[in-house]
Structure 1
Amino acid sequence: MDKSDISHVEIASEVQLSGHRRDGQVELLRGDDVVLIPTPSADPRDPLNLPAWRKWVLLVLVSAYSCTAVVLASGMGSIFTSVEASYPGQETRANDLLTYPTLFMGIGNLIAMPWAFTCGRRPVFLASMLLLIGAGIWCQCSQSLGSHIAGRNIMSLAAGQSEALSPMIIQEIHFLHERGRKIAWFIFIQNIAAGVFFVVSTYMVNVWGWRWWYGFFTIMNAVIFVLSVVFVSESHFDRPAEAMRGESLPDSKLCGAHGAEGGIEQYEPRSWRDDIKPVVVKPRLRDIPTFYKQILQGLLIPTIFWLLLLNGAHLGVYVFQASTFATILMSPPYLFAFEALGYVQAGQIVCCLVFLPLLGYGSDIAIKYFSRRNGGLYKPEYRLPVIGIPVIVGIVCGILYGQAAAHPEKWSAAAVVIGYNASFFAFLGANIVGITYAVDSFPQRAAPFLVVICAGRGFISFGLSYATLPAVHTMGYDGTMIVEVVICAVLALLSIPIFFLGPRIRRFAQKWCGVEDKAN
């Protein structure tokens, strides 16, 4: 029986005290039934109580925002040769159009996420959409390379939140046992759509020019914004510590009555007026310094710092290849036509078709399997084994990419195409493991720790990608790729000791961060 169909009162009465948390373990399975974590309240405004169709609409809109953000900030690779041609004599500086966005996406997370933490997710999401629209108009109308770079940097500030805010919204409206596949659906929708846009981008630029490439996505973002005003409701909801562990709640906390009689009846039905309020959460601006303190704490937790390095390394490899594949394939002996470059990135659609069942549903199946073997108790480390396949594929194909780029006369163009898309697949694997493992390990620190991963990896990938041209000149494509994939391999191997030591690290970190006995 699926407990998601049970009424609020029945849910709360069924989810009895599941035992205290031991080394981060919570009871996920009780016989054949799944325990709902967090425990939903009786309040109709609890985002966990949204109807399934509303959750899907919200997920699609958040994914659509993330799609356009990714394409605008990171998807210029296929049309870059056309953009570069608009700035003769400034080709080296034009490379900043590709490399700086990852840096500013990281900065965007550091600026916006504390406001999402203190003022709610909805106002920051809508403000990010407006900034993305404004920056799109700026880039379309820019009259110099400097103005174009500045516009893309502002655009990337708005796009950065798609990496931390979007998955945080999705995980807040779903239960623990659903998060793997729901985050996978988010990444799937985001990147399937992005793959299609990568294909058509070269044709759009060929017919309309690169300025209307920005114009198209600006119009699309305006439509997404209007729909989001109606459907992207606030996902933040204050919960007691017991609910975060999936334990039963006292009647006062379940009903929100705090001892009053008839607590359930005091809740009015959820209305559209509630959903379209620009700000639902009472601002707590004094908590912003606390948020930055928690970011620093996350950097000092070995498991979170490891996730940061793993994500940054794989993103760096992907950005390196995204910055170079067009130049390689349009040069002899491959001589790809400009329009064909979009089809190279369309390989990301295939990656997503493999990714969704393997890393999305596979992750949720894996945690149930390991939990069942552990007497029904779940540990966040059960998310880690699924990282093996994408990392191995990314490492092997990354080496092939470097060899084919350095020695094109000896290799087919397929080595470049497959290597590039395999690096994207590997990054998706590191991304979903990083998001779900961090959220499951520290649910009460999800926002600041996601910023550590998403903002930090932007800084790391910027450093790696900005060094692309100097590295290629010094070590060649093959030497550069070997160095980067070795880093990825070493970081991936660290998942083995973390699988066994993670609970101890988490138990210490929970006491040190002060989240053991209270909710955020």
Structure 2
Amino acid sequence: MAIQDDIIAPALDPQAEESFEEKEKTRKRTLGNLRLVHPETNAVILVPTPSSDPNDPLNWSTWRKYYVAGVLCLTMAVSNFLAAGPAIAVPATAADFFPDSLTDGTFVTSAIPKTAYFFTTTSLLIGLGNIVWVPLANKWGRRPVYVVSYMIYFATAVWLIFEKSYAGFLAGRILMGFGAGAAETLAPITIADIFFLHERGRVMSTYTCFLSIGASGGLVISGLITIHHTWRTIYQVGSALIGFVLVALLFTVPETSYSRIDDYSSPPADTPSDLSTSTTAQGELPSPKKMSYFETLLVFKAASTKENLLKMIIRPFGLIVLPPVLWSALALAVTIGFLVAVSSNSASAFNTTYGFASYQVGLCYIAGVIGSLLGLPAGGHLGDKVADILTKRNGGIREPEMRLPAVMISAITAPLALVLYGVGIQYKLHWICPTIGIGLLNFSITQANTICIVYVIDSYRPVAGEITLAVTGFKGESINGTPTRRLCY
């Protein structure tokens, strides 16, 4: 098994082990409340417990785990590339679809707000489309959903290169959001599939960082493209990137969903592991054979659960009323919602206020990339450190809420970011003022969203898919309600 021996709690003497068992029997248990550190040795306890099956994602080699996580981060970034990137060319796009507005005085009051619907509707479907994708992933696995959704994303990106009508283009953008959104919700679930509890914070922080970088980086690249090319070239470049990621998903990312059963559970820490056999109450059973590379490429397999699909679709709607889920959903909706609002109007706002061309506006989003990178350690490493300190103070018992103190940083930077952007544009302050606001907003998205997503997954791990769907679905619906139309004036 690809598990480091030094992080597994070693055997104790009989008296110490008896004391440990007595403590476990008497302590109060709640969902998400678990022992992560051994009370006698301070060694990290692996959660969830890996099986002896070589096909168990928890037993993958470290490089393979991080490779899959890297592809998923790239998938997330590319999903946001076309979701937000073309927004930098809103004025040029509006002029193409509504040429008469340039002469009848309705360009700012009508053409630009209508063009903004291309991006708000995409954001809406990125969230709401997962009402379908996540139940399908829970029933038939993650891999088929990644592949099918990215095929839809690729097809719509190519379609929009040639679409000339407003209605057709809007329909294409809506379908694009449906295809692009699956990766955003499935990535946290996949990370929980392949990493242990004490490893997730850092990886989840990288995921949310790439989520933010995809939007900001897309705006930077799209702005540079418009210097010598039309806005439709953005979709050509985006199609190439999507095609590359689709190939990577098809040939290098295996299924990560795994049904854990007692027959192949790991032996206790004081018993040597043996991958060839596993002892059960009925005797010795041979462990499953490791799948070949070509077997891992299969997209469609038998359903992993017999649960009714309709019930799986309906369940997340009831979960949103749980306080941790509602709070996390609101946090994501506020931060990402205002990023959508800002990115949808920044081209016209910077052009009107500072006379910036599209590529100059795009370069301002370098601040967003920097902010996202700074939010990476602030959300993952810092969140893990805070939780580890509080876990030790709590006698080795990890509670999901122990990550939350670190989010106070974003509670300050997110409102400050919006004030800097809004006041800077309204009162025509130096362009660096709203640019710093963009950077702080992206920092807040990476830092706060990392903590929020890990928090709800740790709190309700048995229904992690439905929980993530409830959060992102609520976020998508809330984004559709952000005042983007008003901001475009």
Q: Give the TM-score category using the shorter length.
A: 0.7 to 0.9
Q: Contact 2:113–2:488 at 8 Å: present in 1 too? A: no
TM-score by length of 2: 0.87
Secondary structure of the equivalent of 1:262? strand
Q: Contact 1:242–1:249 at 8 Å: present in 2 too? A: no
Q: Contact 1:40–1:46 at 8 Å: present in 2 too? A: yes
Q: Contact 1:133–1:221 at 8 Å: present in 2 too? A: yes
Q: 1:113 to 1:239 in 2, by over 3 A?
A: same
1:439 positional shift: 0.6
1:194 positional shift: 5.2
Counterpart mapping for 1:219-258 below 5 A:
219-239=240-260, 258=280
1:269 positional shift: 2.5
1:201 to 214, 222, 226: 222
- Is 1:173 the counterpart of 2:191 in the alignment? no
Q: 1:247 to 1:363 in 2, by over 3 A?
A: farther
Q: Distance in 2 between matches of 1:109 and 1:448?
A: 10
Deviations 1:20-61 (A, max 9, x none): 662342111123321110000000110111111111221121
Q: Distance in 2 between matches of 1:304 and 1:397?
A: 25
Q: 1:328 to 1:259 in 2, by over 3 A?
A: same
Counterpart mapping for 1:147-186 below 5 A:
147-186=168-207
Query: Which residue does 2:87 correspond to in 1?
Result: 77
More helix by share: 1
- Is 1:320 the counterpart of 2:338 in the alignment? no
Deviations 1:163-202 (A, max 9, x none): 2111111121000001010111223345446544432212
Deviations 1:305-326 (A, max 9, x none): 1211221122222222112222
- Is 1:27 the counterpart of 2:43 in the alignment? no
1:156 positional shift: 0.4
Query: Which residue does 2:139 correspond to in 1?
Result: 118
Query: Which residue does 1:41 correspond to in 2?
Result: 51
Instruction: Tell me which moved more, 193-202 or 157-166.
Output: 193-202
Q: Contact 1:304–1:449 at 8 Å: present in 2 too? A: yes
Secondary structure of the equivalent of 1:77? helix
Q: 1:401 to 1:13 in 2, by over 3 A?
A: same
Q: Distance in 2 between matches of 1:350 and 1:440?
A: 28
Q: Distance in 2 between matches of 1:64 and 1:285?
A: 32
Secondary structure of the equivalent of 2:52? coil
- Is 1:61 the counterpart of 2:71 in the alignment? yes
Q: 1:226 to 1:13 in 2, by over 3 A?
A: farther
Unaligned runs of 5+ in 1: 474-520
Q: Distance in 2 between matches of 1:281 and 1:59?
A: 25
Counterpart mapping for 1:254-333 below 5 A:
258-263=280-285, 265-282=286-303, 284=305, 286-332=307-353
Instruction: Tell me which moved more, 193-202 or 437-446.
Output: 193-202
2:355 to 330, 335, 340: 335
Secondary structure of the equivalent of 1:95? helix
Q: 1:472 to 1:77 in 2, by over 3 A?
A: closer
Q: Contact 1:54–1:231 at 8 Å: present in 2 too? A: no
- What amino acid is the match of 2:366? A
- What amino acid is the match of 2:463? R
- Is 1:352 the counterpart of 2:372 in the alignment? yes
State the identity as a percent: 24
Q: Distance in 2 between matches of 1:193 and 1:156?
A: 14
Q: 1:33 to 1:286 in 2, by over 3 A?
A: closer
Q: 1:108 to 1:256 in 2, by over 3 A?
A: farther
Query: Which residue does 1:510 correspond to in 2?
Result: none
2:161 to 132, 137, 140: 140
Q: Contact 1:43–1:256 at 8 Å: present in 2 too? A: no
TM-score by length of 1: 0.82
Q: Contact 1:38–1:243 at 8 Å: present in 2 too? A: no
Deviations 1:349-382 (A, max 9, x none): 2112211111111111111111011111100001
Q: Distance in 2 between matches of 1:12 and 1:158?
A: 47
1:369 to 365, 386, 389: 389
Paired positions, count: 465
Unaligned runs of 5+ in 2: 102-110
Q: Distance in 2 between matches of 1:211 and 1:376?
A: 55
